[in-house]
A and B are shown apart, each in its own frame.
Chain A
Amino acid sequence: MHRMRTLLALSVLAVTPPAAAGIVFAPHLAEYSRLASGPYTEVSFIRSRIEESYDREGQTLPLGAPFVKPGESIDVSLALLKFLWVGNVFRDTQVPLLKDRPQFCRVIASLSHQQASGAVTDRSRLFGLTSGASGLGDLFGLCGIYGEEHRLGPLKFNGLFATTVKVPVGRWDEQALLNSGTHYWSVIPQLALHANLWGRLFIDGTLAYQAKGHNDRPAYGGLTPTHPADFRNAEINFAWKFSERWYVDLGYSYRESVGANRYEQVTVNFVDPVPPEEACDALSLQDPVCAAANVFFLEPQDRVYRDEGVRGRLLTAGAYYVYRASSVLGLRIAQPVGGRGSQIDVAFDVFAGEPDPERPGRVRRGAQISTTTATLNGVQEAAAVSASPYLELRWVHLFWAP
């Protein structure tokens, strides 16, 4: 029984696909309960097909809208490899507080694959950009301490405090719509609580704050923030035990940015001069210049752009099976139920095209004729908020029983 409960106390931190804004503290069964000392390994596999995202009004948009037709998607796969150690290195010392409270440390590595579908890829090529990524993601390391366990009749509860550091070692391509890494540091302190009622109902909740660093090499034409906003996270999870082997849970997760994301290096532009109709269609412009000369050139104005902040709400539901008292298999679905994505209004200077005397048959940039504005979507982890569900398959294994 004790070993079984030990196994059910799962990870203290879970990470969702990089395509979603921020690190989402997706709840799991008995996530923050006090684990018995020992090493735990965990492998999670996450799949999603992102077909919709949230705009700054909180409305769902088909992926790539209005720049591509509905029906496009981003295929996302993520594998998380986790190693957790629980113990007490101060147990036989006189260090106050720590000698009576076990500590835990954890390392999380990730592999990801993300690829946009055909029309999104073709659109990206107009700007000389690519629309996929794969490889090693950022590395997460966390350490924390459990609080004491308390009992009130049928209720048993404990708390914990932990801090996570995200190390930006993941693969980063400035030309890509999607990336495995984030290219900025994060420090994430969190407080969490676990409660167990009658040995049947498990409640886990947490509050966390993500302090984010800067990204001096934004990707996708500067549509990833150079100064991603900090995040606040809150989550709660309710789990029910049907038997020693079967459990189910329901959870809710909320996250929001503190202030706005800042974009300081917006350079997105066409590789070659394009006819007005194609340029206006690609940037969804409604401007008289769309009926103008044969070709024209666009240049984004060098300014600092800010969005209106991002947020997301998520519901999760899962089932767990305990096998052999050494493994836990879990299957879970997560469904976004609201959010706000990052969008900025980028000002473009419009220049007429004129024959290039040095290259007969070619066109060069001429005089400025106008200024126009295009609403562009922020992309990747700090800016985009997926409105599509994802599926998670998880395996936790206890190699050495405590």
Chain B
Amino acid sequence: MRSVRRPVALVMALLAGPAAAEAPRLGAYAPLHPGLYAHTSLRHDARDASFDADGQRVRGVAPASGGETRFPQSALTLALEWHLPLFELQEVPFFSGRHHLVRVQMQQVQTEARGALVDASGLPVEARGREGSGLGDLQVDVGSFLFGSPVGSRNGREGPALPWALQLRLGVDIPFGVYARDAPVSAGDNTWAYRAALGAHARPWQGALLDLGLRWQTYGVNEEPLFGALAPRQRGSSVALDLSLSQRLAPGWHLGVYGEAMQGADNRYRNPRFSVPSPVPPAGTEAVPVAGDYRDDGIRSVRAGLSLYRFVGQRWVAGLHADGAISGRSGAFDLPYENRRPAGCQPGAIGCTVSAGETVRVDGLGPARAYASTRYHLSLRYQFGLGDPYPCTGCERSSP
């Protein structure tokens, strides 16, 4: 248990990793007919509430600032997903007898920082988050169906399709997203992420789709964490479980419930340069954070939501979704300060004295923040064509 001498000094939070904020998809782990699918979604999150390090729901994302602070965010997501057979004529072990998928996802993110904490930080207006708006990180996933196949097609031969499927997926987040290092929020994370996931799909009864996924994700080092290094330099690995169940209500209409639980390991921080607010030093001195490595206890998030899907013709599926936070925990750590006299002097210089200062409680930024606000998504999926786009998908050739 950490001891805190002063009231906590919460700082701004950032957006959570993009993978955690995807719109749910109908039959997320279902094997689809070979072809190209486009998924688009529009998401809005007010980000006006969060969970603190003790798991308590709090108003705003930085209550210690003395007023309400928000990080509203809107994001437009486009994902292209190919379901395809590979090497079906070459008899390549593992590949030839299965269907596979490749998924590429990109985002355009509008993000902003508003409220008392931003005002107290002394940030110029142009650094208040909009500078961090723009392209998000690129996600690339490749996967294979260990079991299961598209309905009505099994390597080109007619046969009973399995009512269930198991998918193995590997993915990477490439940090091409915009990252404003001096702003409190950004579209990207400046961090590589790697993940492995297993997803199971089943049709337990008529008109129902059940999807269950288990995902493990680990992260590279963020060499330049934003906003004074108050975002983690090394994000802790995480494990997430997601579950969705949808039921056809009427021809073309599906209603679903979904949820996700995520637990992350400790996040690590290095050499924070400031906190907001910072301790008031004695007259004639300057308070400077003590350089060093710090850790929080990791983040946790449990969310649940509802979805309504509508099939429009054979190729379009529209969806409306809303999810809220059930519980969570954000990252925080104690940051000690030292007082330097005279102000502005450098330790070790002649006449410069250093003494211990106060310790403040600091909330981790960015992926160390668990939001408690409700998210709304509007999604649309388009299927580019039925049938096999390739000249021969595992077909049998008869001799002349």
Residues of A within 8 A of B (CB): 75, 77, 79, 111-113, 115-118, 121-122, 125, 130-132, 134-136, 171, 272-275, 278, 294-295, 324, 360-363
Contacts and interface: CB of A to CB of B under 8 A. Distances in A.
Interface string B332-345: 00000000011110
Contact of A79 (B176, B179, B285, B391): B176
A116 B222 CA distance: 10
A121 B190 CA distance: 14
B272 interface: no
7 contacts: A77-B174, A111-B135, A113-B176, A115-B223, A115-B224, A131-B223, A171-B134
A275 B134 contact: no
Given A122-B271, A360-B342, 12 more contacts: A77-B176, A79-B138, A111-B138, A121-B223, A132-B190, A134-B179, A273-B344, A274-B346, A295-B346, A324-B390, A361-B284, A361-B343
Nearest to B347: A275
Interface stretch (B5-13, B254-262, B348-356, B361-369): B348-356
A273 B349 CA distance: 12
Interface in B177-206: 177-179, 181-182, 188, 190
Contacts of A294: 349-351
A41 to B, nearest CB: 12
Contacts of B277: none
Interface residues of B, number: 31
Nearest to B349: A275
A210 to B, nearest CB: 25
Contacts of B341: 361
A136 B135 contact: yes
Interface string B268-287: 00010100000000001110
B175 interface: yes
Nearest to B348: A275
A295 B349 contact: yes
B223 A134 contact: no
A77 B391 CA distance: 35
Contacts of A362: 342-344
Of the candidates A79, A116, A134, the one having the most CB atoms from chain B within 10 angstroms of its own CB is A134
Nearest to B178: A135
Contacts of B224: 115-116, 121, 130-132
Nearest to A272: B344
Contact of B346 (A75, A112, A132, A275): A275
A363 B344 CA distance: 8
Given A118-B223, A361-B341, A113 B182 contact: no
Contacts of B286: 361
A221 to B, nearest CB: 16
Contact of B176 (A121, A125, A130, A135): A135
Contacts of B176: 77, 79, 111-113, 134-135
B193 to A, nearest CB: 13
B194 to A, nearest CB: 14
Interface string B372-400: 00000000000000000011000000000
Given A134-B188, A272-B344, A113 B390 contact: no
B134 A135 contact: yes
A256 B175 CA distance: 32
Nearest to A120: B223
A136 B350 CA distance: 48
A171 B273 CA distance: 26
Nearest to B226: A130
Ranked 9 nearest A-B pairs via Cβ? A361-B342, A111-B176, A361-B343, A130-B181, A113-B175, A275-B349, A135-B178, A121-B224, A361-B284
Nearest to B131: A173
Contacts of B285: 361
Of the candidates B179, B224, B350, B390, the one having the most CB atoms from chain A within 10 angstroms of its own CB is B224
A94 B224 CA distance: 60
Contact of A115 (B182, B190, B342): B190
Contact of B182 (A130, A135, A275): A130
Contacts of A273: 344
Contacts of B174: 77, 79, 113
B251 to A, nearest CB: 34
A275 B177 CA distance: 38
Given A79-B176, A135-B178, A361-B341, A278 B346 contact: yes
A171 B178 contact: yes
Contacts of B284: 360-361
A84 B190 CA distance: 31
A348 B390 CA distance: 66
B178 A134 contact: yes
A202 B388 CA distance: 35
Contacts of A122: 271
Nearest to A136: B135
Contacts of B188: 134-135
Nearest to B390: A324
Contacts of B344: 272-273, 361-363
Contacts of B182: 130
B304 to A, nearest CB: 33
B390 A134 contact: no
Given A113-B175, A362-B342, A132 B349 contact: no
Contacts of A272: 344
A294 B175 CA distance: 43
Contacts of A134: 175-179, 188, 190
A55 to B, nearest CB: 24
Contacts of B179: 132, 134
B87 to A, nearest CB: 8
Nearest to A112: B176
A166 B178 CA distance: 21
A132 B177 contact: no
A30 B138 CA distance: 30
A119 to B, nearest CB: 10
A117 B181 CA distance: 14
A169 to B, nearest CB: 12
A132 B341 CA distance: 34
Contacts of B178: 134-135, 171
Given A111-B138, A135-B134, A116 B223 contact: yes
A27 B363 CA distance: 50
A68 to B, nearest CB: 13
Given A113-B176, A275-B346, A294-B350, A135 B390 contact: no
Nearest to B350: A294
A80 to B, nearest CB: 12
Contacts of A171: 134, 178
A274 B390 CA distance: 67
Nearest to B220: A75
A131 B225 CA distance: 11
